[in-house]
Amino acid sequence: MRLLCTGGGTLGSVTPLLAVVEELRLRYPDIQVEWWGTHAGPERLLVESRNITFKTISAGKFRRYASLENLKDIIRIATGLVESLWRFGFNRPDCLLTAGSFVAVPAGWAAYLYGIPVLVHQQDVRPSLANRLLSPVASRITVALRESVKDFSPGKVVFTGNPVRSVFMNAPTTAEARRELGLSPDKPTILIIGGGSGAKALNHIALEAEPELLKLGQVIHITGAGKEVHISIPGYLTMPLTNESVTVLAAADVVVTRAGMGVLTELSALGKAAVVVPLPQSHQEDNAKYFSERGAAVLLPQLGLTSVKLLATVSQLLADEAERDRLGNSLCELLPAGAAQRVADQVIAVITKKTYGSTH
């Protein structure tokens, strides 16, 4: 079996596919996996660390506003399509798997022209533009959220949940994770995380609130690559996001985060209470609204957010263990375990042309 995965630019379109690859390798140890990603994105190191062959491909972003860069990107997209057609002429995978990302569009259309099955996974509440462009050529579309079934053709779509790597199913205990990080195993712990590239607004507010946060407990602050902040204060740990985020997530009682589906899925696997600060004017606002309306996260819009508001929210959650448990359990219900296995089932189904699963 030969599988081609496409995605990159950010890790949001990468980590769920790695979970599916992990599952398929358990079932088919001889499976051959290749990955096509971006030239400058963060995905290469993570993909290659999983012993997956990585190749770059030309692609352009899909901007929904007028820009001269759109003209250049049309050329990049056309180049990516030609590159994909050329590569498929020499080596055809049995299936192309993607979870969105602009880099997947030319590869997906080229695969369709060669008769290669395309499986598209939709994570966010709002269907991505890349996935909308791929949906006409997709053999199957899997969705992370049950409500997303309505956004795609009934004959193609299957609700699976969002895949998460098995390391999150075998995470260390909270106390073990804290010891591993050099923190007290018994003190309340707050994690502030803005993703692999960091979040400038969250970093600023967290640093402003630092003295008062330390009165509540100990703090892990993920500042993002290239945005490192060095603070030599006992109980305040700053670090960039590593590939294995399970330890820092497992250590926390309360997690303050952006509203990307990757981190929310990982938090659901660990049953953690989340305070979400979505990136303004992005799909994350839809994600945050969806989970907060269903009692699975506390929403704090970035506009108007202050250190005082952040402290009040975190303090209230740290004082209410029952509410933290309720939030974590609600997140688990919306993002059920076993999604990697269900998406792997769909990969096998489109290769073998079997009917597998339900749209309900």
Domain membership flag for residue 219: yes
CATH number at residue 206: 3.40.50.2000
For the entire predicted model, the pTM comes to: 0.90
Do residue 50 and residue 185 come from a single domain? Answer: no
Number of domains the chain is built from:
2
Pair 13, 148 in one domain: yes
Distance of alpha carbon 7 from alpha carbon 108, whole angstroms: 11
Q: Is the same domain home to 142 and 198?
A: no
Q: Could you read off the pLDDT of 255-292 as tens digits, one per residue?
A: 999 999 999 999 999 999 999 999 998 899 999 999 99
Q: What is the pLDDT of residue 75?
A: 85
* 357 part of a folded domain: no
Q: Judge whether residue 230 has pLDDT over 70.
A: no
Q: How far apart are CA 94 and CA 262, in angstroms?
A: 26
Instruction: Round to whole Å and give the CA distance between 291 and 314.
Output: 18
Q: Is residue 360 part of a domain?
A: no
139 lies in the same domain as 261: no
| Residue-averaged pLDDT of the chain | 91
Same domain? 217 vs 250: yes
Please state the separation of Cα 308 from the chain's center in Å: 29
Distance of CA 65 to the CA centre of its chain: 25
Q: Map tokens 């109980």 to a residue.
A: 235
Instruction: Indicate if 26 and 89 belong to the same structural domain.
Output: yes
Nearest to 122 by CA among 90, 151, 96: 151
pLDDT digits (tens, 9 = 90+) for 149-186: 999 999 999 999 999 999 998 999 999 999 999 999 99
For 192-203, the pLDDT digits (tens) are 987 544 477 888
Spatial separation of the C-alpha atoms in residues 299 and 306, rounded to whole Å? 14
Strands 32-37 and 118-122: unpaired
Q: Is residue 117 part of a domain?
A: yes
Whether 105 and 9 share a structural domain: yes
The DSSP secondary structure of 29-80, one letter per residue, reads TT-EEEEEE-SSSTHHHHHHTTT-EEEE-------SS--THHHHHHHHHHHH
Rg (CA), the chain: 21
**Shared domain check, 201 and 173:** yes
So what's the pLDDT on residue 197?
Answer: 46
Residue 183 token pair: 């923190």
6 part of a folded domain:
yes
Domain carrying residue 279: 167-334
Asked if residue 359 belongs to a domain, the reply is: no
Residues 247 and 152 in one domain: no
Report the distance separating Cα 344 and Cα 14, nearest Å. 15
Q: Are residues 188 and 272 in the same domain?
A: yes
- Do 159 and 30 sit in the same domain of this protein? yes
Residue 113 tokens, joined? 């022209």
In this prediction, residue 137 has a pLDDT band, given cuts at 50, 70 and 90, of very high
Kindly state whether residues 188 and 312 are assigned to the same domain.
Answer: yes
Domain membership flag for residue 53: yes
Convert the pLDDT of each residue in 22-32 to its tens digit. Answer: 999 999 999 99
Alpha-carbon gap, residue 32 to 26, rounded angstroms: 13
Q: What is the pLDDT of residues 23-78, one digit of tens each?
A: 999 999 999 999 999 988 889 999 999 999 999 999 777 655 556 666 777 888 89
The Cα 101–Cα 82 span in angstroms is 18
| Poorest-pLDDT segment among 78-92, 164-178, 290-304, 346-360 | 346-360
